[in-house]
Amino acid sequence: MRLSKVQWAVIKVIVFILCLMPFLLLLMDTIQDQLGANPIETLHFRLGDWALRFLCIGLSLTPLRKLLKQNDLSRFRRMLGLYAFFYASMHFLVYIVLDLSLSWEAFVDEVPKSPYILVGLLTFILLIPLAVTSTKAMQKRLGKKWLTLHKLVYVAGVTAIVHYLWLIKTLTIEAIFYASLMFVLLAYRLFTYFKARRLCF
pLDDT at 1: 59
DSSP 8-state class, residue 34 = -
Q: How far apart are CA 51 and CA 45, in angstroms?
A: 10
Which pLDDT belongs to residue 81? Answer: 94
Range of the domain at 13: 5-200
pLDDT for the residue 171 = 82
The pLDDT, as a whole number, for residue 45 is 93
Question: What pTM value is reported for the model?
Answer: 0.91
Strands (E), the chain: none
pLDDT at 86: 97
- pLDDT at residue 126, as a whole number: 95
The three-state secondary structure class of 200 is: helix
What is the torsional sign of CA 78, 90, 19, 8?
Answer: negative
Q: Give residue 74's pLDDT.
A: 84
Give the C-alpha separation, 15 to 92, whole Å.
Answer: 24
Residues of the chain with pLDDT under 50: 201
Task: Give how many domains the chain has, as a whole number.
Answer: 1
